[in-house]
Amino acid sequence: MPTAITSLDSLGHFMGGSNDHDDQMALSKSYGSGKPSSFSWTNIGPLARSSIGYTIDQIKLTSKTMVETSSTLWCHTVLFDERMPWPLQDAHAACALYNARNDINAEFVVKHITSQVDELIITPPPIALIDLIARAHILWCYAWNATIDSGFDELTTALVRPTTAI
C-alpha cells in the first residue's frame, strides 16, 4: 500500500490498494456488496472527483500556508493572535523547515519533525483550551504531512503509536 497521497489516483490506490483481507472486507461492507472488492474511482462522478482533487491539493499546501499566513484549512489566522503556545511555535518552525527541505537535508528534516512529534506525544495533554486546540492543530499538520509525503514513514509510525496525544 502506498504511504503517500499525492493525487486523486494515489488516494484510490491508498484506499483500495491493500491486499489485506480485513481492509478489503471493510471496503466491501462500506459499499454494501458484502464481497471483497477494490475501491474504484470510476464509481465517483466528475464533480466529486474534482472536489476531492482540489482538497488534496489544498492539504498539500498546509505547511506552506501555515508559515506564510499563520493559518490552515482548519485554523483561522487570528486564533492564536493573543498567545501562540510554544508547541505551536515549534510546529511553525518545523513547517518552515519542511518547506525548505531538499535532497540534501530531507533526512534531517524528517528526523527533526519526527522528534518534535515524539516529544509532543509524551508531553501530558494541556489543560487550557487554547493549548489543547493548538496541540490538535499541530498533530493534524504533522499527520497531513505524513499522509502526503512518502518520505515520512518514521513520522507516520510515530503518529499511529497507541497514545493519549490529545
Distance CA 159, CA 152 (A): 11
85-131 pLDDT, tens digit each = 888 899 899 989 989 989 999 889 888 888 888 888 888 999 999 99
pLDDT of residue 1: 41
What is the three-class DSSP state of 72? strand
pLDDT of residue 128: 92
The strand ranges marked E within 20-77 are none
pLDDT of residue 127: 93
Angle of helix 129-148 relative to helix 62-69, nearest 10 degrees?
140
pLDDT of residue 154: 58
pTM of the model: 0.63
Residues 16-26 as b or e (16 or more Cβ within 10 Å = b): bebeeeebbee
pLDDT of residue 132: 92
Q: How far is Cα of residue 9 from the mean position of the Cα atoms in its chain? A: 17
pLDDT for residue 137 is more than 60 = yes
Residue 75: φ, ψ to 5°: -140, 120
Residue owning grid cell 497514545:
163
40-93 pLDDT, tens digit each = 666 777 888 888 888 888 888 888 988 898 888 888 888 888 888 888 899 899
**Closest to 155 (Cα-Cα) out of 4, 20, 23:** 4
Mean pLDDT of 21-46: 58
pLDDT of residue 160: 56
